[in-house]
């Protein structure tokens, strides 16, 4: 009776598997009507699993049938009753047993596998014929199955256990006869399965995006980025004919509303609505209209960094900033340097977001002032200040993961092309300003080309022993960076594109190929003094020393190869900023003023000193030498 009880359990499992399969089929039909492609793939995967469970249950019942050769009359009668009621299925004989993987050593006879296959064929034939009249169980199955020795019988029993269990691989097993080989092959198959498993890739992709989020938060966490962002936002608004006084007015209103919200301890929107009602101000009403349709909080500073804020992040090393009692709010910040919500990063990002909100509201108010509707205002804001959410699924998943600031470039280049065709006079004004600034200054014979590209200006004064050049970061410069018809052609445009890729992809490739992409400077691979930004991090040099990346000189100084320094300061952008602002290397000490102006004020300043000119001429000579060698090799080399 124990065997029959076990059989009833198998029947229940079979019924459940069949029900699950029916539900999975129904879900597939429903999702094909209303779901997207990703949902269809997920439901198809679930249907495949349900099919496998159903097939495994079918096999379990077929394999259970062979135990009935020892059953008595009562047990056999019970089996016929269940079969007659349709509670058991009709089985079709299988002619083979499929293994989980290709068997090593298949050319030699495998007694275990062959004996098991023969025994199972007889069992399945017995199961098919049990409901025929005149059939009497015999010992044929038992003799075939239990003629194996102990080791072989153990392998066969393991196969049966796999068949009646919810094994990861279902009713398949490895039976090469070599236990070590079986383990190795199983590991290979498991690894291959993970490679092809979208869930495993999903976890990897999620981890990649987390690191990307940190990188972007660190790359924009400088006051200079805020200054450049302000300048770019004003420039794009000016191109579209926005009265810049409206942005100034928006700034004053924002301060006024923020003070009201802080004093009364209410939300920003509530404060704006209250002031608009009491003051009877048309501009304030326009401001409130824009707030109510969600203009705030959609700029680059917020969209570039995807923050995961929630209870799962309420862990240690996070602080509440603000007043605990009375008016005002508290804000959660992190003191973890590896977090995108690290307090300095979040402070800069908050200021940046505030500035972007002010500019967007100013563009909207200008539209409403001259008779436009709220929809017109939103369209104009999205046009000149960009809608950072308007991307295809491919762009969201791939392009943003490869190029950290892809959305800006994707929106800005078409906008600049459109504006230069519609308003060429405004771009001519920039050229006129450049000519006026250079008026009265003498052109120099030796000027590095990167001083003048893409919109370099020679200023009418000198500093540090050389003429000062600047290249203000105006949004239309992207046209020059990615223009395939510029000097250098497609190669230069492609180089600029690759240079904008994620440091996680770009830096390791540059180190592997021994050359920086953007400026073409090769790595020499020689040891040099480790930057203070790296050597000053507690325990970091010890870890780098253990990995062979850093060594200590006889004088006690830490030394690292140039490409290792480049890799670390690119993958950890904050260390790169500290390296430039707190330099202990002669090169960065000479360029300290330029670094300070760029990082803190967003201003470009290059000093054309005699040393800079000498370095540039040396680099040009080397490039000409390489080009001459290439021509000679093409013409005369035969091997």
The dihedral built from the CA positions of residue 247, 472, 597 and 500, taken in this order, carries a sign that is: positive
Of 368, 390, 412, the last residue of a domain is: 390
How many residues comprise the chain? 639
Distance CA 35, CA 401 (A): 26
Let me know if residue 538 belongs to a domain. Answer: yes
Let me know if residue 470 belongs to a domain. Answer: no
The two tokens of residue 303 are 């969209």
**pLDDT reported for residue 385:** 92
The two tokens of residue 184 are 């190795």
Domain that holds residue 518: 501-605
User: Helix or strand or coil: residue 133?
Assistant: coil
Are 584 and 560 found together in one domain? yes
| Nearest C-alpha neighbor of 304 from the set 345, 335, 336, 344 | 345
CB 100 within 8 A of CB 169: yes
Distance CA 383, CA 19 (A): 53
**pLDDT reported for residue 600:** 92
User: Helix or strand or coil: residue 286?
Assistant: helix
Are 166 and 268 found together in one domain? no
**pLDDT reported for residue 197:** 58
Let me know if residue 190 belongs to a domain. Answer: yes
Are 260 and 362 found together in one domain? yes
Long-range contacts of 535-538 (CB under 8 A, 24+ apart): 537/575
Q: Locate the DSSP E strands across 241-325.
A: 318-322
Model pTM score:
0.65
The two tokens of residue 492 are 């230069």
**pLDDT reported for residue 154:** 64
Antiparallel, parallel or unpaired: β 457-463 and 466-470: antiparallel
CB 503 within 8 A of CB 483: no
User: What would the pLDDT profile of 564-593 be if each residue is shown by its tens digit?
Assistant: 999 999 999 999 999 999 999 998 998 999
The HSE-up count of residue 104 (CA atoms within 13 Å, CB side) is 11
List of residues 6+ apart from 589 with CB closer than 8 A: 583
The two tokens of residue 192 are 């291959």
Are 223 and 305 found together in one domain? yes
Let me know if residue 491 belongs to a domain. Answer: no
What are the residue ranges in the chain where pLDDT is below 70? 1-8, 10, 31, 33-39, 41-43, 45, 60-182, 185-186, 189-202, 297-333
List of residues 6+ apart from 118 with CB closer than 8 A: 144
Distance CA 321, CA 328 (A): 10
Are 139 and 247 found together in one domain? no
How many distinct structural domains can be found in the chain? Answer: 3
Let me know if residue 622 belongs to a domain. Answer: no
Let me know if residue 489 belongs to a domain. Answer: no
In the chain, the N- to C-terminal Cα span, in Å, equals 85
User: What would the pLDDT profile of 110-130 be if each residue is shown by its tens digit?
Assistant: 444 455 555 556 545 544 444
Are 41 and 171 found together in one domain? yes
Cis before 454 (ω within 30): yes
The two tokens of residue 569 are 């300061």
**pLDDT reported for residue 140:** 47
Query: What is the enclosing helix (H) or strand (E) of 519?
Result: none
Of 151, 167, 199, the last residue of a domain is: 199
> CB atoms < 10 A from the CB of 496, how many?
20
Long-range contacts of 75-81 (CB under 8 A, 24+ apart): 75/1, 75/3, 75/4, 78/4, 79/4, 79/7, 79/130, 80/131
CA dihedral 434, 435, 440, 443 (to 10 degrees): 80
Distance CA 529, CA 398 (A): 38
Distance CA 334, CA 308 (A): 12
Are 91 and 240 found together in one domain? no
Max CA pair span of the chain: 117
| Token pair 């919200």: residue | 261
| Nearest C-alpha neighbor of 602 from the set 231, 235, 228 | 228
User: Helix or strand or coil: residue 267?
Assistant: coil
Q: What is the DSSP letter of 531?
A: P
Let me know if residue 205 belongs to a domain. Answer: no
Are 345 and 324 found together in one domain? yes
The region that residue 241 occupies, defined by phi over 0 for left and psi between -120 and 50 for alpha, beta otherwise, is left
Distance CA 528, CA 509 (A): 21
CB 408 within 8 A of CB 395: no
The dihedral built from the CA positions of residue 491, 494, 500 and 503, taken in this order, carries a sign that is: negative
**pLDDT reported for residue 62:** 67
Are 293 and 361 found together in one domain? yes
CB 344 within 8 A of CB 221: yes
Q: Please list the residues that pair with 330 across neighbouring strands.
A: 322
Are 169 and 279 found together in one domain? no
Q: Locate the DSSP E strands across 523-618.
A: 527-529, 550-552, 558-561, 606-608
Let me know if residue 184 belongs to a domain. Answer: yes
CB 333 within 8 A of CB 318: yes
Are 91 and 191 found together in one domain? yes
Q: Locate the DSSP E strands across 277-356.
A: 318-322, 330-334
Are 23 and 160 found together in one domain? yes
């Amino acid at each position: 009776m124990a065997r029959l009880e076990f059989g009833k359990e198998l029947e229940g499992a079979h019924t459940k598997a069949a029900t699950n399969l029916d539900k999975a089929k129904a879900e597939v039909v429903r999702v094909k009507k209303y779901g997207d492609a990703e949902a269809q793939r997920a439901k198809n995967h679930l249907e495949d699993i349900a099919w496998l469970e159903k097939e495994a249950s079918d096999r379990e019942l077929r394999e259970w049938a062979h135990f009935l050769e020892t059953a008595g009359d009562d047990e056999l009668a019970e089996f016929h009753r269940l079969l007659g009621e349709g509670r058991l299925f009709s089985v079709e004989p299988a002619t083979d047993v499929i293994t989980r993987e290709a068997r090593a050593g298949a050319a030699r006879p495998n007694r275990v596998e062959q004996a098991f296959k023969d025994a199972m064929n007889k069992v399945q034939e017995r199961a098919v014929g049990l409901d025929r009249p005149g059939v009497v169980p015999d010992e044929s199955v038992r003799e075939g199955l239990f003629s194996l020795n102990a080791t072989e019988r153990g392998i066969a029993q393991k196969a049966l256990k796999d068949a009646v269990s919810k094994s990861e691989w279902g009713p398949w097993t490895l039976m090469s006869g070599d236990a070590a080989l079986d383990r190795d092959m199983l590991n290979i198959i498991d690894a291959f399965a993970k490679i092809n498993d979208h869930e495993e890739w999903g976890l990897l992709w999620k981890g990649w995006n987390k690191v990307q989020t940190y990188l972007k938060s660190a790359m924009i966490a400088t006051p200079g980025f805020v200054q450049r962002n302000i300048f770019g936002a004003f420039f794009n608004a000016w191109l579209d004919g926005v009265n810049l006084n409206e942005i100034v007015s928006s700034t004053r209103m924002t301060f006024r509303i923020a003070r009201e919200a802080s004093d009364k301890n209410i939300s920003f929107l509530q404060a704006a609505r209250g002031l608009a009602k009491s003051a009877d101000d048309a501009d304030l009403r326009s401001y409130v209209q824009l707030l109510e349709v969600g203009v705030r909080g959609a700029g680059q500073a917020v969209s570039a960094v995807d923050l995961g804020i929630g209870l799962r992040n309420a862990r240690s090393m996070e602080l509440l900033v603000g007043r605990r009692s009375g008016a005002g709010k508290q804000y959660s910040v992190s003191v973890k340097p590896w977090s995108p919500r690290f307090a300095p990063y979040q402070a800069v990002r908050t200021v940046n977001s505030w500035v972007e909100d002010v500019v967007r509201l100013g563009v909207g108010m200008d539209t409403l002032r001259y008779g436009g509707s709220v929809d017109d205002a939103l369209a104009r804001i999205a046009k000149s200040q960009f809608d950072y959410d308007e991307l295809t699924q491919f762009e969201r998943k791939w392009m943003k993961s490869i190029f950290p600031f892809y959305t800006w470039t994707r929106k800005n280049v078409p906008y600049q092309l459109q504006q230069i065709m519609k308003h060429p006079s405004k771009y001519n004004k920039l050229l006129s300003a450049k000519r006026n600034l250079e008026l009265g200054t003498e052109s120099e014979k030796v000027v590095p080309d990167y001083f003048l590209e893409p919109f370099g200006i020679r200023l009418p004064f000198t500093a540090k022993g050389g003429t000062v050049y600047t290249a203000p970061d105006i949004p239309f410069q992207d046209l020059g960076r990615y223009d395939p018809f510029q000097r250098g052609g497609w190669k230069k445009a492609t180089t600029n594109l690759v240079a904008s890729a994620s440091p996680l992809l770009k830096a390791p490739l540059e180190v592997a190929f021994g050359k920086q992409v953007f400026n073409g400077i090769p790595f020499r691979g020689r040891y040099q003094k480790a930057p203070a930004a790296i050597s000053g991090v507690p325990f970091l040099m010890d870890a780098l020393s253990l990995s062979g990346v850093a060594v200590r000189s006889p004088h006690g100084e830490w030394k690292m190869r140039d490409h290792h320094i480049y890799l670390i300061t690119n993958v950890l952008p904050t260390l790169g900023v500290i390296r430039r602002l707190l330099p202990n290397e002669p090169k960065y000490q000479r360029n300290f003023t330029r670094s300070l102006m760029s990082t803190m004020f967003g201003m470009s300043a290059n000093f054309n000193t005699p040393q800079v000119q000498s370095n540039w001429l040396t680099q040009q000579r080397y490039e000409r030498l390489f080009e001459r060698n290439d021509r000679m090799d093409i013409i005369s080399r035969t091997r």
